Amino acid sequence: MSARKLKIGCAGLGRMGKRHALNFLQRTPRADLVAVSTPDDSELEWAKANLAPYGVTAYKNYEDMLKHEGLEAVVVASATAVHAEQAIKAIEAGKNVLCEKPLSTSVEISQTVLDAAAKKPELKVMCGFSRRFDASYRDAFNKMSAGGIGAPAVMRSQTCDKLDPTGFFVAYAEFSGGIFVDCSIHDIDLALWFFGQDSKVKSVSAVGITAVEPDLRKHNDRDNAVGLVEFHNGKIAYFYASRMMAAGQEDTTEIIGTKGKLAVNTQPALNLVNIFDENGVRREIPQHYYDRFEYAFVTEANEFTACCLENTPVPLKLEGAVQAVRIGAALQESLITGEKIFFDEDGQRLPKARL
């Protein structure tokens, strides 16, 4: 008798949705991708060609997919604007949920997902912060936890995208929540992971520029930004986000402790090949986020599936996803207003600085 597989559906078949669908179809042995949904006709055609031959049913309507016979879990990989809505509908339908980051661009809406999940504690509901599943970050976390660098005190982390000359990020900025919520959300989650999931933010401040895309200002966004977060436990985090890296994707992190530091990917490389030619010595680096974290997404899919089948806790708390949006949204506000924002030890925003 073959082992039972988790019957899963995927909502959204854009760039990220396609990757999730194929990962669950081809690279997650304990999962059975049975359904997908998308309102986009071109994406439905892609599903017809790439998924239907393997018995996957494609739906134009998300609610119809939720009614698919035997469906047990849903991956929400659609547009950020509908993440929360679709996650809540799946939870209310009794489905386990893996939701792409962020839960929402709004703290209040993100909280509604947490509230819905609290009413169905038997379900596994997880926000997919991919770096938590990356082998290098896990190794760094384990070394820190073993005391290798003493007590962690400072984090420097960045998410820097390859320059896209098409202007995609200008249009995307209308819906993304801004560079801190879209890009730095990964780094914020890392800070909450390495400093402790219950770390409470004390203050945030941010500055930014539009070096290559001045039209981003129409959407209160920037193409380069720096944020500083102070926590009540005495730790600080420095975040850099950029949309204009010429060579490719540069996602790096340093965790600085009282007895040393850990550095992850500070010299990005696509592989172990160095090129020696008339231009000197160089190496190629990943061109996009997925190039760097492809196997992290595969690990995420397999571990989420195992949690659902074995009824074990998910690797990260859903509360952390709300906290990450709270910090990211505050950084974005500080970026626009130029004001430093303060929080009390309960996480409530203070009207002004306490002197």
The answer, yes or no, to whether residue 225 has pLDDT greater than 80, is yes
Can you tell me the distance from the alpha carbon of 355 to that of 342, in angstroms, rounded to the nearest whole number?
11
- pLDDT at position 174 is 84
State the average pLDDT over residues 6-15: 97
**Three-state SS sequence of the chain:** CCCCCEEEEEECCCHHHHHHHHHHHHCCCCEEEEEEECCCHHHHHHHHHHCHHHCCEEECCHHHHHCCCCCCEEEECCCHHHHHHHHHHHHHCCCEEEEECCCCCCHHHHHHHHHHHHCCCCCCEEEECHHHHCHHHHHHHHHHHCCCCCCEEEEEEEEEEECCCCCHHHHHHHHHCCHHHHCCHHHHHHHHHHHCCCCCEEEEEEEEECCCCHHHHHHCCCCEEEEEEEECCCCEEEEEEEEEECCCCEEEEEEEECCEEEEECCCCCCCCCCEEECCEEECCCCCCHHHHHHHHHHHHHHHHHHHHHHCCCCCCCHHHHHHHHHHHHHHHHHHHHCCCEEECCCCCECCCCCC
- Dihedral Cα 148, 150, 154, 156, nearest 10 deg: -10
235-250 per-position pLDDT tens digit:
999 999 999 999 999 9
Homologous superfamily in CATH for domain 135-294+323-342 = Dihydrodipicolinate Reductase; domain 2 (3.30.360.10)
Q: Are 126 and 314 in contact (CB under 8 A)?
A: yes
Nearest CA to 243 out of 331, 182, 162, 157 is that of 162
State the average pLDDT over residues 40-53: 98
- pLDDT at position 1 is 41
- pLDDT at position 330 is 97
Whole-number average pLDDT of the chain? 96
The answer, yes or no, to whether residue 29 has pLDDT greater than 60, is yes
Confidence of residue 172 (pLDDT cuts 50, 70, 90): confident
Confidence of residue 353 (pLDDT cuts 50, 70, 90): low
Query: CB within 8 A of 101, min separation 6: which ones?
Result: 127, 128, 129, 130, 185, 186, 189, 321, 324
Q: CB atoms < 10 A from the CB of 176, how many?
A: 21
- pLDDT at position 2 is 60
Q: Taking the domains of the chain in order of start, what are their residue ranges?
A: 6-127, 135-294+323-342
Class of domain 6-127: alpha beta
- pLDDT at position 320 is 95
Instruction: Name residue, tokens 């539009």.
Output: 210
- pLDDT at position 49 is 98
State the average pLDDT over residues 301-321: 97
Cα-Cα-Cα-Cα dihedral sign, residues 200, 127, 123, 5 = negative
- pLDDT at position 309 is 98
The answer, yes or no, to whether residue 315 has pLDDT greater than 90, is yes
The answer, yes or no, to whether residue 355 has pLDDT greater than 50, is no
* Percent of the chain topping pLDDT 90: 93
* Percent of the chain topping pLDDT 70: 99
State the average pLDDT over residues 273-297: 96
Confidence of residue 198 (pLDDT cuts 50, 70, 90): confident
Residue 244 — φ and ψ, nearest 5°? -130, 30
247-276 per-position pLDDT tens digit:
999 999 999 999 999 999 999 999 999 999
108-125 per-position pLDDT tens digit:
999 999 999 999 999 999
The answer, yes or no, to whether residue 329 has pLDDT greater than 90, is yes
